[in-house]
Amino acid sequence: MSVRTTIAAVSCGAMVWLGFTGAGVGVALANPSSPIARRHWVDDPYAPHVTEGTLLRVGSAVGGVRVDSRKYTGIGGMIALGRRQGRLSFDAEYTMLVLQDPGPSSIELGRAHQLAAVGRVDVLRLGPHIVGGNSMIALFTEAGLARTFYRYAMPRYGETPREVPADNSRTQVEVGMGLFLDHRLEQPLGFPNRIGWQLGWRLAASPRATRDEMVACRGCIASPNPTTPVEAYDTEMLLTSTLDFTW
């Protein structure tokens, strides 16, 4: 399945999901006194937090990426749609990274498109009596499974010639941890009822292909290069920062 086909399928699923959840939002906006609109209202800013509902995360990702012994700096963004249920949350996530030389150069060497399924659990929570009214801080851990598609760029005219890897893809296992600052709205009208900021560190690893295929220069065809030494795993370490909306 191609990257575009996979992304299109995920996008269609997200639109269907939003269609069902959006109906409840529409009822809440039309009638603020309805039970749907008042379901997440609170009278006491120090009341226990009820964290449930549809989750939307939008933000950035940056970090080191290593593919077939080549190192890159990855800079890009991510978007995820999922569900919160108490201390647990699950989401489908799309991340796009621009791959640059880890040195001072800002030349784009390629791009990585990643589709992932991620599960997360709040290991420790500090409630409003410590953080402040209607607010909460959580320490979380997460794990996920991802498929990453690497698409490399040929040197442009005027750039220094370089070796270019053949496009490839990897299945990765991800683990991570981070902090989540979550704020509850006392009288929400459907979207959102909670707003948060999440800062996380994520490590991903995948078995590496046995042969490193390269494209030597602009216009050349891909050819196997079995003599290139390779290590056992591809890895990436990303720092992620997202705004989270729950409704």
Under-70 pLDDT residues of the chain: 1-38, 209-231
pLDDT at 18: 45
- CB count within 10 Å of CB 145 equals 14
* Pure H helices in 152-230: none
DSSP code at position 21: H
Output the pLDDT for position 157: 80
Q: What is the pLDDT of residues 101-150, one digit of tens each?
A: 887 778 899 999 999 999 999 999 999 999 999 999 999 999 999 999 99
> Would you say the pTM of this structure is higher than 0.85?
no
Residue 78's H or E segment, with its range, is strand 70-85
Rounded Cα–Cα distance for residues 149 and 69 (Å) = 17
Domains of the chain: 3-246 (2.40.160.20)
Residue where the block lists tokens 């906006």: 29
**Spatial contact of 75 and 97, defined as CB atoms under 8 Å apart:** yes
How far apart CA 141 and CA 156 sit, in angstroms, is 42
